[in-house]
Chains A and B, each alone.
Chain A
Amino acid sequence: MALPFWEIIYRSKSSPILEEKQFDLELFKKGQELKKKYGIKYEPQAPVDVDGDLADRVYQAGVELFLHLGAYCTTTKRAIKVSEAELKEEIASRPEAVEMGQGEDRVRMVHRDVEGTQEPIVIAGIQTAPFSNEEMMFKINQLCAMDRCVDGIWGGILLKIEGQYEVVAGAPSEIYQYRKTVEILRRAVSAAGRPGMIIINNAPSSIATIAMFDEQCGMRRTDYMEVTGMSELKVAYDDLNRTAFALACGINIHGTHSSTIGGFSGNPEGAAIAAVAGSMQEVVIQKAESFRCGVTDSRVKSRISRAELWAAGTAIQGISRNTRLIVDGSIGDHPAAGPGTKQYLYEAAAGFIVSTVMGAHSTEGTRKFVVGDTPNYGTPLESRWMGEVCKGAAGMSRAQASELVKYLLEQYEKYLKDAPAGQTFEALYDQTTLQPTAEYQKLYDEVKAELRDRGLQFRS
């Protein structure tokens, strides 16, 4: 680490006070100025940038944006800024690989190149989703962990304690239940025969997240601490509490940031630039060894719209081409459609193909975008899909990915705003054999065959 974390904290308290609104408006103005300066243009008919020149310009613009703005600390109402030399030194000091998990379940997450054949690490599971009870949570996660194309599990939450007391963020119930959640996850991966497997969860508050770490029965130093930044280019002390704990204990730090199309970064070009800037924030401010370079689209409840694919994909490509950093893409993690539908598989495939081909891992699980308080709204088959697509797309060319993504967009794009809701685990899996229903398996196999015919080289 080039710039000490405590220097970041010092700057968060000693820089001039700045109104948050001014920071937000400057993000928009500077982003649009850089869009012009670097000639960055989103062409909807080309959702995948195939030559890299555009991605390089997005990277340069993103770095310039971060150096101009810094990251806004909402706790102290100040922008934390770094110099160009400090940023370069920080990037150079980051590892090209981190080892995660233990024993036979240990994996090495390395910097991935664009079109690279390096193994994409897949942390699947029904991320942040509610489960109806302990037994169901155990069962679903055990089945997810049994899939060999999955390297880790991102957990969810049991919404009731003892089946009756509500779990709410910021309350004692949050600490108790998130802790119980990771204990269930640890037991589930052990029962799946993978005791050293990575498990991840991230509670709303830092105190509850920290409480999940326990070498015996919870999250371990060899998993990772997710340090979420706030959208867009913001961070709070509650985020940085996680960094402080991880640094003190030697836990891998994984940052996440999302710029927002329709938010203060504006258009898709602005969001791509801000996605790079946000990634720089994760590296310098949150001290992440790996990070999610994300984009959301405020206009749809899916993270795989055409504009998101372009903006996130181009930003990831820019970082992968210009640094040796370890990037997480996870673009396919939140489809609009629900489980048990072809649309879910199409949306997820488009996102995970772009993530992988552009040089990223996918470590943020997979689930329907809107789950509400419906429990068990996902199955192990979507986790398998995530794993199969990511591993299968490693080494694919951007040109081939572009054709495949265009085909996939044709299948789902027009249904994004009125996507099929899908069904829960109880409806999609035989509850006795714990296998997908024949109908769901057939649907899965059909989509897999369709993509195989179009050039996706599944490993099995």
Chain B
Amino acid sequence: MQAAWLILGNDLRQRSRDRSIWIMAIAAPLALAAVFALTLPDVNQGIDPPRWVVVDEDGGTLANLFTAFALPIAADGLEATISVVEDRAVAAARVADGTYDAGFVVPAGAGDTGAGPVVEVLTVQGRLIQSLVAEAVARAFAHGVEQVLVATAAAEELGASASELQAVPGIAFATALPATIVEVPAADRVLDLTTFLSAGMAVMFLFFAVPFGVTSLLEERSMGTLARLRVAPVPAWSILAGKVATSLVIGVASMGSLILATSLLLGASWGDLLGVASLVIAGVVAAVSLVGVVAAVARTPEQASVAQAILAIVLAMFGGVFFPVSQGPGLLRFLSLLTPHAWFLRGLGDLAVPGATAADVAGPVGMLLAFGLGGALMSALLGRNRILAP
């Protein structure tokens, strides 16, 4: 066992000298988190309150109804900015210069049966989400107006009083606006977006970090030092154990750095510390083991490097790092379960439930360790005659 520690210490010293350990365990995770912090600055801040401008060209009650009633309902829960201007051109200019997200014009004669559109929408190309929201609000209002007209006509037919007829629009709009903006509290989500992105990035990065240990066997073979290790009076397994330990240390260090950096820079909430630690260690074991399969079959360090990059990307794709496979077809969802990435993300999702502890991730941790065991067996089977051959 002492030989394994010596080999671990020797590997870490070499990785420190060539700076690769500092790059993989600290610099790269910090850089990744910093890039994410710059590109996704408000990803965890929720939805910005909408800023809308309204033009009343009709001068009737419909515009008042839209401004005072329909828009606040649509912006339910958010402090929307709703301004009214006189001129369509002014509104369009304000939307164009970004003062407002979108504009609504209630044209003259709006609401008259068959007179044309009830509300027109002013949007700017490139602001897709704001445009879609504004269009949905306008469609819902138009639908509401139609319902009001139908409801009012029906109430008149039934002999409703004047005060009852006045209440009809409110009742109709209260049930007719399906498009409202609602902020879901983070605690109720399976995994918030920042943490999902951070976790995906971390588990993919792991497959680039851990090869430093196990594939250094290939480098040692090409340098001739593997023969020296094999001639030393130490059991062969201790050489392998030292290399695996190097991968484990680098993997855990890089994951730890990423978790710390994304928590501090992005506000990612990873969940219960013990649960996260269990997932990280199990994930690193799985990654080391699968990378070990590559080391077992590759003939040169260069060949291993290419194969590991392909493995990392393919597993990340099917594991749901780049897009949520849970919303994909059944086959894709099934394939994702064959990757450690999916189980790692699933485990973090389990930890995102309020009050979740390490016990709640026993399933994903077990699956990750199973990947580790499977990879180790496969490595032993494929590389039994050559992984330590000098």
A and B bound? no
